[in-house]
Structure 1
C-alpha cells in the first residue's frame, strides 16, 4: 500500500535561495531537453504522401529517449560545473519528466489518450523537484535530511505509521512557501471486503443544491467556498490588473492572490477529506454515479460544479476506501433520477420536479433520495431496503 504525507517546510533564507536556484537550473535543463526532442521530431518526420524527390535533411540521428538524454548529464556537469550542486537523482527525474510529457504527446497514456503539446517552462513555472530515494533514517524529530541539500526543518504534524518506509520526497513551491510530500509504502495489502459481505451500504447522489444526499435521506450541505470568496478574490485580482508589470507592487499582489486561491483550495480539500472519512466510518460500501465531470464542466453549471469539486472528492473517497479495505462502486447514472427505486418502473420527470411520486406503486420520496437508492441498488445488484421518506 502506498500513501502520501505532506508537510510544510520551514527553510532558512539561505536554504530558500538555494532551493530557488535548483528549480531555475532544472527549468533550464527541462527546456533544453524538450527542445532537443522537438528538434529531432521536426527534422525526422515526413508525411507519407508529401515526401520530396530530393531530400535536404541533415544527418539523421537516433531518437532521443530517456536513457540517451540521461547519458548527457555527466557532460552537462563537466561543461556547467554549477549543475554538480544538484543531486544526480534529481537531475534524472527532470529527464524522466520530459520523457513522460513527450510520450503522452505522441503515444498517449495507457488508455491511448493523448495530451497536448508540451510547453516550455517560463520563469517561476518549474515549481517542484523529486528525490527518488532518501538515505537511511531521513527524519529526526522535526528535521528531514535531503540528499546533497542538507537538513531542513518541517512541521511534523503527524508521524509516519509503523511499518511504512519512505520511498520518495517531492519538494513543491506554493504561494505561501515550500512543502514536502513524502511517498510512503507498506508491503502489506488490506483485504477488501466482498460485496456480498457488506452490512451497511449506502448510495450517494451528488448535487449542487446539497453536496450529496444519501440513500437514508440524510444530506451534506454544499459549502461553496469559491463563491463565498469571490468578492475578496475579485478585489485582489483588480489590484494585480492595475499594477504595472514587473513592479514590486505587482509581485506582492500576485503573491497575495495566490495565497487567497490556495486558501479556497485547501478548505475545499479539507471538507472533502472530512466528508469521505464520515462516510467510510459509518458505511462499508459507498455507491456513487460515474460522472463525466469534464463534460459537465462545459455547461452553464461549470462554476458551481468546479466549486463543489466532485472529482477530487470521489478520488479521495476511493483511495481512502481502498486503504481501509472498504468498497466504492461507480455506477452508470442513466435513469437513476427517472426510475422508481421501489418498483423499478420509469417515472419521467423534469429537472424542476423535485419530488418523485410513482403512479405504479405509490412510492413517494425526494427526487435525490430516490436517485441515491437507485444508485445503491445498481451497486449491490439487488434492491436494498431503506426507510421511506
Structure 2
C-alpha cells in the first residue's frame, strides 16, 4: 500500500476561519481532558505505602479501568452531553483527537522519556478528517493555467477548484498538482500557519500498489555537507551556502523589538506578532525550496547517492550552532532521501567517522586535522585537493564497498510509474539502465 501526502493552500472565508479556530480550541481542551484523566489514573496507583502526602492524594476506585483509547473513545459520547462545544465538532475529528493523545502516550513508552504535556492556548494547530467516501476536491485540473503557471486566488475562485470539508463547507483551494490516477483520498488534515493567518490542507492519498526498494545501479556520487560549502560531491561539484535566517535576522530583530514595545495581548501586539510569524514562515519555506532544488539537481547528476550518517543535532549545539541550524542539514538529508525514492534513485548512508582523515587515493590515514585546515595533502602519495572533496570521495568509496552483490542474478527494477514532480518519463528509462 503506497501512501503519499500532498499539501495545498486553501483560502477560507472569515466565517469559516472563525469556525475552524473554534474547532482547534475545542480539540485542544479535549486533548487536555484525555491527558488529565490519564495522569489522574496513574497518580492514584503510585501512592507511597508507608505515608500519605500532606497536600493532596489521588483517590480513585480500583474498579476504574485504565483510560485507554477505546475507553476514552466510549466516554466521548458522555462528554458531549455536558460540553456543548464538542457537539459542534465533526464526530470523527473528535475521535482522532483522542487517538492522537494515545499515540503520543505510546511513543513515550517506547522511547522512555518525554511524558505528554498539556497543550497551552494557541499550541494546537491542526485537526484531521480520517475518512472520505469520495474525492473531496472538485475540478482537479482547474489549479493550473494553460501556460503552466499557478493562478492567483481571485482567478482560482472563478475556476471553481474547491475542497469540501464536512460541517465547514466548500473552501477554495490552490490545487497546483492533481491527484495521480489510481489514488484515492483517505484523509485530510487542516493546518493553520503564521498565527492562524494562513491555512493549508494535507491530503493523504493511497494506492493499492507495492514499489520495491531501488537497488544500487548506474553512476554513484558521494556528498560531504559542511559550512564553508553547503555540499561538495565526489565530482568536485560545490553548492554555495545560503543565509536564510542570517540575512533576515536584522529585519526579524526590528519586528521583535516592535512587539516588545506593544501592550501585551492588545490588537497592535497581535498585528506585530503576525508579522514576526510570517517572516519565520517565509524563512522556512525558502530554505525548504532551496533543499528541494538541490536534491533534484543531484538526482540529475547520478543514479546512486551516498551521504554520511552523522547526527547533526550534536554539532548544532556547539559554537557554530546558528550556522548549522540555518543550513538545516538534517532536513536536507530527509528531503534528498524522499526525492531519490520518488525519482527511482538509490540513497544510502555510510559511516561518518574519519572521512576527512583518510586519503581517497591511497587509503592511508593522514591523522586528525583542525577545522582551519581546508586542504588535503597526502604525505604518502602526494595527492592534493580540497578537504571537502577528499571527504566526498571517501564517502563514495565506502558507499560502493557497502553494496552487497546479487550473485549475478538479474536485478528487479521498480515498476514504471511517474508521480507528480518527477520530471519526465526519460528519468524512468534512465533508472532502468544498469551497469
Q: Deviations over 1:193-242 (max 9, x none)?
A: 322xx211110000011110000001111111100010000000111112
Aligned with 1:217: secondary structure?
coil
- In the superposition, the TM-score normalised over structure 2's length comes to 0.82
* Matching residue of 1:205: 224
- The unaligned stretches of length 5 or more in structure 2 are 140-160, 404-435
Q: Indicate the larger mover: 279-288 or 227-236.
A: 279-288
1:154 and 2:154 equivalent?
no
Alignment of 1:187 with 2:211, yes or no, is no
Partner of 1:298: 317
Q: 1:362 aligns with which of 362, 382, 385?
A: 382
Check whether the contact 2:309–2:352 (CA below 8 A) recurs between aligned residues. Answer: yes
Cα offsets for 1:234-253 (capped at 9, x unmatched): 00011111211111111011
Match of 2:371 in 1: 351
Offset at residue 29 of structure 1 (A): 0.8
1:109-151 CA-to-partner distances (Å, cap 9, x unmatched) read: xxxx234232212222111001111231211121111123222
In the other structure, the counterpart of 2:185 is: 166
Say whether 1:378 aligns with 2:398. yes
Q: CA deviation at 1:347?
A: 0.8
Distance 1:382 1:77, change over 3 A: closer
Give the Cα separation in 2 of the matches to 1:382 and 1:152.
50
Q: Does structure 1 residue 117 correspond to structure 2 residue 118?
A: no
Q: Check if 1:26 corresponds to 2:27.
A: yes
Say whether residues 1:78 and 2:99 are aligned partners.
Answer: no
Q: Distance in 1 between matches of 2:352 and 2:60?
A: 55
Distance 1:187 1:59 in 2: 48
1:270-295 CA-partner distances (Å, limit 9, x unpaired): 00111111111221111111111111
Q: Closer, same or farther in 2 for the Cα pair 1:381/1:178, shift >3 Å?
A: same
Q: 1:359 to 1:382 in 2, by over 3 A?
A: farther
**Contact 1:358/1:364 (<8 A) preserved:** yes
Question: Who is 1:318 aligned against?
Answer: 337
Structure 2 match to 1:43: 44
Residue 339 of structure 1 corresponds to: 358
- Detail structure 1 runs of 4+ shifted over 6 Å in the superposition: 53-56
Contact 2:135–2:184, Cα closer than 8 Å, also in 1: no
Shift of 1:187: 2.6
Q: Check conservation: 1:290, 1:333, Cα contact below 8 A.
A: yes
Q: CA deviation digits over 1:298-335, x for unaligned, max 9?
A: 11111100100101111111122123332111111111
Q: Distance in 2 between matches of 1:259 and 1:79?
A: 38
- Matched residues in 2 for 1:287 and 1:353: separation? 24
Distance in 2 between the 1:2 and 1:274 partners? 23
What is the CA–CA distance in structure 1 between the aligned matches of 2:60 and 2:382, rounded to whole Å? Answer: 79
Return the alpha-carbon distance in structure 2 between the equivalents of residues 153 and 210 of structure 1: 42
Unaligned ranges ≥5, structure 1: 384-389
Q: What SS class does the counterpart of residue 249 from structure 1 fall into?
A: helix
**In 2: Cα distance, 1:188 partner to 1:324 partner:** 16
Structure 1 distance, partners of 2:135, 2:128, is: 18
Q: How many Å apart are 1:364 and its aligned residue?
A: 1.2
CA distance in 2, matches of 1:272, 1:186: 27
CA contact (8 A) 2:129 2:188 kept: yes
Cα distance in 1, alignment partners of residues 204 and 228 from structure 2:
37
In 2, are the aligned partners of 1:192 and 1:326 still within 8 Å (CA)? no
Specify the SS of the correspondent of 1:168. strand
Contact 2:7 2:203 in 1 (8 A): yes
| Structure 1 residue aligned with 2:107 | 104
Provide the rounded CA distance (Å) in 1 between the counterparts of 2:389 and 2:210: 35
**Are residue 95 (structure 1) and residue 101 (structure 2) matched?**
no
| Residue 139 (structure 1) aligned to one of 121, 137, 141 | 137
Residue 78 of structure 1: how far off its partner (Å): 2.2
